[in-house]
């Protein structure tokens, strides 16, 4: 085992993470043509609707009944970072905010003291298939920021730097890659302080070549997820696809690719080193705070649900947009 590689592990559902990250999941669904109502133009027979996580015919409905996705559900105490490489996501939340984003866009949402949101995957194309590829990452909030006001921010793909080298492409979603800085994250995020060295990089490395990851501080956690390709080697140690690697960020890691392009996600950051109490969509520091979160949601619904349906989707003809709680509208 090389000095850079600390351990390897198979990628399950969700993917294994390290502090300050709580959760990472990868969705790749080859949805069929849309039916004109943003659902699949295919039979839903045989699916466990409402909890359809089994890959059938190359796609899943998740918690959706007619449109795939995740109808209204609450969060408290952490942040969600949703990276949509292919396809689209429709966001609606209890603050009245909304958006449609995709094809490389990223949404950064701070749940803070509590928010409900829906994440639906509208099948907008009725003449061809609707492939969806996305990552959702949960980044913990430090104790002092657990009860900040909810906030969401769009990182439009036009504003996210992509570094193209001779043999690789690096999309800098969070943090700094060499001299290239990502767009600012949400203001109360652990990532907002550069000293925490948070990095989220999506890296594509050409076949039969080498790539060097830059060095970070020695107290930084760094995890590499190899989610597509045939094989890679890190400092000579062979890694199969659908495996993760915990790396020593203080040592340069040299990635050697095989006969196919390698697709990697890197999550990196200084740990919070705080106690974590989690119950489903609530992440606090103590079990008493989890009980309080559950009670607060039962009493307030975190502001209620201002949309006509829990699985709300926007009009099919809408393009990419974001409507913020103060009424500000951005259309792309």
Q: Is the pLDDT of residue 1 over 60?
A: no
Which has the closest alpha carbon to 262: 188, 187, 203? 203
| 3-state DSSP helix/strand/coil % of the chain, to nearest 5 | 10, 45, 45
Report yes or no: 109 and 189 within 8 Å, Cβ to Cβ.
Answer: no
CA-CA distances (angstroms) from residue 281 to 13, 214, 294, 297, 323?
16, 34, 10, 11, 24
Residue 43 exposed, middle or buried by CB count within 10 Å (0-12, 13-18, 19+): exposed
Q: What is the CA radius of gyration of the chain?
A: 20
pLDDT band, very low/low/confident/very high, at 2 (cuts 50, 70, 90) = low
pLDDT at 254: 96
CA dist 255 and 69 (Å) reads: 35
CA-CA-CA-CA torsion sign (285, 290, 293, 295)? negative
Query: Per residue in 87-128, pLDDT tens?
Result: 999 999 999 999 999 999 999 999 999 999 999 999 999 999
Query: Per residue in 148-165, pLDDT tens?
Result: 999 999 999 999 999 999
CA dist 50 and 68 (Å) reads: 9
Query: Per residue in 256-314, pLDDT tens?
Result: 999 999 999 999 999 999 999 999 999 999 999 999 999 999 999 999 999 999 999 99
CB neighbours of residue 288 within 10 Å: 10
| Helix or strand run (H / E) with residue 296 | helix 287-300
pLDDT at 114: 98
CA dist 272 and 310 (Å) reads: 34
Mean residue pLDDT across the chain:
97
Report yes or no: 19 and 221 within 8 Å, Cβ to Cβ.
Answer: yes
Which has the closest alpha carbon to 117: 75, 171, 69, 176? 75
Query: Per residue in 306-325, pLDDT tens?
Result: 999 999 999 999 999 999 99
Token output for 134: 């996305």
Which has the closest alpha carbon to 33: 42, 43, 20? 42
Residue 327 exposed, middle or buried by CB count within 10 Å (0-12, 13-18, 19+): exposed
Report yes or no: 105 and 154 within 8 Å, Cβ to Cβ.
Answer: yes
pTM summary value: 0.97
């Amino acid at each position: 085992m090389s000095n850079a590689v600390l351990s390897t592990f198979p990628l399950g559902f969700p993917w294994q993470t390290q502090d300050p990250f709580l959760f990472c999941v990868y969705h790749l669904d080859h949805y069929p043509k849309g039916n004109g109502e943003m659902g699949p133009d295919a039979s839903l027979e045989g699916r466990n609707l409402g909890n359809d996580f089994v890959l059938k015919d190359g796609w899943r409905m998740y918690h959706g009944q007619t449109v795939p996705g995740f109808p209204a559900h609450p969060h408290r105490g952490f942040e969600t970072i949703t990276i949509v490489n292919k396809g689209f996501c429709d966001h609606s939340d209890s603050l009245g905010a909304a958006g449609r984003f995709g094809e490389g866009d990223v949404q950064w949402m701070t749940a803070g003291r509590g928010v409900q949101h829906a994440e639906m995957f509208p099948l907008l194309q009725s003449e061809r298939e609707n492939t969806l590829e996305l990552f959702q990452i949960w980044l913990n909030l430090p104790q002092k920021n657990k009860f900040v006001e909810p906030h969401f921010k769009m990182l439009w793909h036009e504003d996210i730097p992509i570094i193209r080298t001779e043999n690789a492409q690096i999309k800098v979603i969070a943090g700094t890659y060499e001299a290239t800085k990502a767009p600012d994250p949400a203001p109360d995020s652990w990532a907002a302080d550069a000293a925490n060295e948070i990095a989220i990089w999506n890296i594509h490395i050409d076949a039969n070549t080498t790539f060097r990851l830059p060095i970070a501080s020695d107290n930084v956690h760094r995890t590499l997820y190899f989610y597509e390709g045939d094989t890679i080697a890190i400092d000579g140690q062979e890694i199969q696809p659908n495996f993760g690697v915990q790396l020593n960020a203080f040592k340069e890691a040299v990635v050697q690719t095989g006969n196919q392009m390698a697709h990697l996600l890197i999550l990196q950051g200084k740990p919070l080193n705080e106690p974590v109490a989690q119950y489903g969509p609530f992440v606090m520091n103590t079990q008493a705070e989890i009980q309080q979160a559950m009670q607060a949601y039962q009493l307030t619904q975190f502001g209620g649900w201002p949309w006509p349906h829990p699985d709300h989707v926007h009009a099919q003809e809408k393009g990419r947009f974001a409507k913020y709680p103060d009424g500000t509208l951005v259309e792309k």
